[in-house]
Amino acid sequence: MTTTHRPIDQRVEAPLKLTGAARYAADHAPEGVLHAVLVGAPVAAGRLTGVDTADGRATPGVTAVLTAADLPSFGTLTAPAAVLTMPFSDDVIRYEGQPVAIVLAESVAAAEAGRAAVVVHCDAAEPAVLGAGAREPAPGVEEFVLGDVDRALAEADLRLDLTYVQPPRHHHAMETSGTVARWDGDRLTVWDSVQAGGTVVGVLAGAFGIDEQDVRVICPHTGGGFGSKGFIWPHEILAAAAARIAGRPVSLHLRRSDQFTAVGYQPWISQTIRLAASADGTLQGIEHTVVNNTALADDFVEPAAIASTAMYAVPAIRTRQFVERVSLNLPTPMRAPVEGPGMWALESAMNELADAVGVDPLDLRLANHADVCPSDGRPWSGKGLREAYEEGARRYGWRDRHSRPGTDGPWRIGHGMATCSMGSFRFPGHARVRLRADGSVAVEAGVHDIGSGVQTALTQIVADELGVDPAVVDVYWGDTDLPRTGPTYGSSTTVGTGSAVAAAARDVGKQLAALGVDVDPAEALARAGVDALVGEGDFTVRNGFDMDGASTPWAMRTWGAIFVEVGVDPDFGLLRLRRAVGVYSAGRIVNPTTARAQMTGGIIFGWGKATMEESDQEPVHGRWLAKNLSNVAVPVNADIPADLDVSFVDEYDEHAGLIGAKGIGELGATGVDAAVAAAVHDAVGVRVRDLPILPWKVFEGVSSCDTAPDGR
């Protein structure tokens, strides 16, 4: 009884978000709520010697200033808590902004005034800064070795040995993280801005030594996350602790400046790629070495080298991962993690190899296409990369790009391309579908609305499965009282939750069939005299989490090709994105409207990473140089042309889940940086290997060229 309706072309939550009715964590103000503000350490390294709270407490409206002495000792934290070394647990200052006090007040303004009056005393020490921290092999990561890379490098016709760097960058979700906590006896309710509410429950229960059943996390809307709200951060625990101490609900909505240190960021990453190739460009070996910064006390590894184990048909691969400990807060995944940085290095090196061999970069990729997974020989669950290359080249006009004018006024025009790819994270989940006697359908899934359009996708899936009009489907989400789904990160939501919802709908379908399929659902229920049919659905993966199909016979990834046209003004080093074409192979596209928005957003994220975004560690004091949105560039509307052409290869991946889909949220953000760097080189002959590609780097490169480059 599958009737496919026209895809929903307007998000089902549109009325909420367009009228201000959509409520985010800090929009909740339970009766008697106090506002909390964190007081951070003023130096990046040293020892806390005292916190003078008298003037803070005397500030009108302030009800309390909490320091370490006031806080309970928390239970042992384990992942997915991001930070396992809670602030306040000792007197060591490990980064500037590390919370040392919490001001509670009757209003936001009073809390901020109180914050300014708190005096923090410390013995400052020399901070460990990026590039000078202690390096060690990445904890928990084993070297990957296939074949003999050393021999491949020794015997190759062509060898490249190149290092690519990207700076730390923050997620800059428009909604800063925030938690509103309320205790009712020993029961804790939090309105939290998160990407995985189900995992918050266990961490809070563990921290406070209470039962998981006594913790409820409500998160109807998340104002962007991009990874920053994926794991559980100390402020979520501190808000609940403050509420318990105060005996009143507490709202801790991070100030923008505190967001820089209270949650993570994408770390500084340096990657060295060594390629061995024969004279025609056939790859013989890849060595990929990655070092990323982590915090002094906690570990974060950015496993970027995975990209090189999965991308090209190559007989010898070796990857290594290191971390460097510096006086900064802990990094975390950011759209796009893993292959985000990994493809920046690998795809840039492939573009340089194409130039060294003298072949079109697209042909180099086609020649080295991996028909099976290079690291273990498994077949792909689905791969339409060749089609994506071909369709992208056609839509872009790649093959005759250099027959078009190469200048436009002061702008030199360059063209670049790269492969896009993300691994497939799959999490188990449970969902419920309720067909009511009036013919309406309720979908219950504790998934989060982070802007990816999950409610629309789930509505679409259930309407298709049950053959009902999408208009009769209601989705209930964002509450841990609902069936637990997987998280809303790792591009995993549609495949995981979508599959669970499809299974629940099929369960309803089976029950309906037993009542007689030839009649209208509502009529069947009425005839049987039941109020509702309730279907339960599970999406299961072995071991509770599956990465890239590891627990299956299939290697699972998503794919794509990105082509960009960039204008470069050689006199000023300015860059302009003129247009982009992205074609993606990611299984079935459940809803074209929301999928297009995801890919468009990813490309823009990639442009920001390539040309603008950078969070600098101040080299003397060790703190973030700028902790605001005024002095940290992110793309705005003027930076982005309307001509972003996004399309998908028509396919259905029957192995990744129950609905043919795979993840797309991060795919679009991969490869863009490498394509942009190639386009800059194409335009003015300048190779920039450390992101972002800022005007001064282009200008210096142009100035240092002996002869006017033609870039061809």
Partner 1 sequence: MEFRTQVTVVPRVNGDPVRTTVSPRTTLLDWLREHRGLTGIKKGCNEGACGACTVLVDGLRMNGCLTLVAQCDGREITTVEGLSPPDGSLHPVQRAFAEHDAFQCGYCTPGQLLSAVGCIAEGHAGDEGTVREWMSGNICRCSAYPQITAAVLAAGEGERR
Q: How is 331-370 classified by DSSP, letter by letter? A: P---SS-THHHHHHHHHHHHHHHHHHHTS-HHHHHHHTB-
391 binds partner 1 (CB under 8 A): no
619 binds partner 1 (CB under 8 A): no
223 binds partner 1 (CB under 8 A): yes
Q: Site for partner 1 (CB under 8 A): which residue of 217, 441, 555, 644?
A: 644
Per-residue contact string for residues 192-221; x = within reach of partner 1 by CB under 8 A: -----------------------------x
Nearer to partner 1, 258 or 507 (CB): 258
Nearer to partner 1, 11 or 320 (CB): 11
Longest pairwise C-alpha distance within the chain: 86
Q: Site for partner 1 (CB under 8 A): which residue of 210, 359, 437, 634?
A: 634
Helix, coil or strand: residue 633: coil
C-alpha torsion 402→406→411→414, nearest 10: 10
Q: Site for partner 1 (CB under 8 A): which residue of 636, 696, 704, 706?
A: 636
CB of 650 to partner 1, least distance (A): 21
Stretch that binds partner 1, among 51-59, 362-370, 598-606, 653-661 (CB under 8 A): 598-606
CB of 453 to partner 1, least distance (A): 7
For residue 391, give Cα distances in angstroms to 371, 413, 593, 606, 669: 19, 22, 20, 21, 19
399 binds partner 1 (CB under 8 A): no
CA-wise closest residue to 87 among 78, 79, 76, 98: 98
CB of 502 to partner 1, least distance (A): 23
287 is a catalytic site residue: no
165: phi then psi, degrees, rounded to nearest 5: -125, 140
Q: Site for partner 1 (CB under 8 A): which residue of 255, 365, 623, 662?
A: 255
450 binds partner 1 (CB under 8 A): yes
Q: Site for partner 1 (CB under 8 A): which residue of 638, 706, 707, 712?
A: 638
CB-based contacts of 343: which residues, under 8 Å, 6+ apart?
307, 311, 418, 419, 420, 421, 670, 671, 674
CA-wise closest residue to 416 among 367, 351, 364: 351
CB of 443 to partner 1, least distance (A): 20
User: Would you report the helix, strand and coil content of the chain in percent, each value rounded to 5?
Assistant: 30, 25, 45
Nearer to partner 1, 10 or 213 (CB): 10
609 binds partner 1 (CB under 8 A): no
The whole-angstrom separation of Cα 102 and Cα 574 is: 44
Q: Site for partner 1 (CB under 8 A): which residue of 102, 241, 463, 604?
A: 604
Per-residue contact string for residues 297-336; x = within reach of partner 1 by CB under 8 A: ----------------------------------------
Nearer to partner 1, 4 or 630 (CB): 630
Please, what is the Cα angle at 542 between 540 and 547, to 5 degrees?
100
Helix, coil or strand: residue 592: helix
**Which residues within the stretch 24-53 sit at the binding site for partner 1 (CB under 8 A)?**
24, 26-27, 29
The count of residues interacting with partner 1 (CB under 8 A) is 61
CB of 151 to partner 1, least distance (A): 45
Q: Are 329 and 295 in contact (CB under 8 A)?
A: yes
596 binds partner 1 (CB under 8 A): yes
C-alpha torsion 85→87→92→94, nearest 10: 80
Q: Are 674 and 418 in contact (CB under 8 A)?
A: yes
Which tokens is 697 given? 């780097």
CB of 265 to partner 1, least distance (A): 14
17 binds partner 1 (CB under 8 A): yes
176 binds partner 1 (CB under 8 A): yes
169 binds partner 1 (CB under 8 A): no
C-alpha torsion 306→222→634→672, nearest 10: 30
* HEC assignment per residue over 515-566: HCCCCCHHHHHHHHCCCEEEEEEEECCHHHCEECCCCCCCECEEEEEEEEEE
Q: Site for partner 1 (CB under 8 A): which residue of 297, 322, 629, 687?
A: 629
Place of tokens 């964590």: 25
85 binds partner 1 (CB under 8 A): no
Q: Side chain identity at 643, as an amino acid letter?
A: D
107 binds partner 1 (CB under 8 A): yes
CA-wise closest residue to 178 among 216, 211, 137, 224: 224
Q: Site for partner 1 (CB under 8 A): which residue of 226, 312, 398, 559?
A: 226
The whole-angstrom separation of Cα 49 and Cα 39 is: 15
Q: Site for partner 1 (CB under 8 A): which residue of 172, 288, 365, 588?
A: 172
582 binds partner 1 (CB under 8 A): no
Q: Are strands 92-93 and 46-52 parallel, antiparallel or unpaired?
A: antiparallel
Burial of residue 79, with CB atoms counted within 10 A of its CB: 0-12 exposed, 13-18 middle, 19 or more buried: exposed
CB of 593 to partner 1, least distance (A): 5
- Which residues are known catalytic residues? 666
Residues of this chain that bind partner 1 (CB under 8 A):
9-11, 13-24, 26-27, 29, 107-109, 171-176, 221-224, 226, 253, 255-256, 449-453, 593-594, 596-597, 600-601, 604-605, 628-630, 634-642, 644
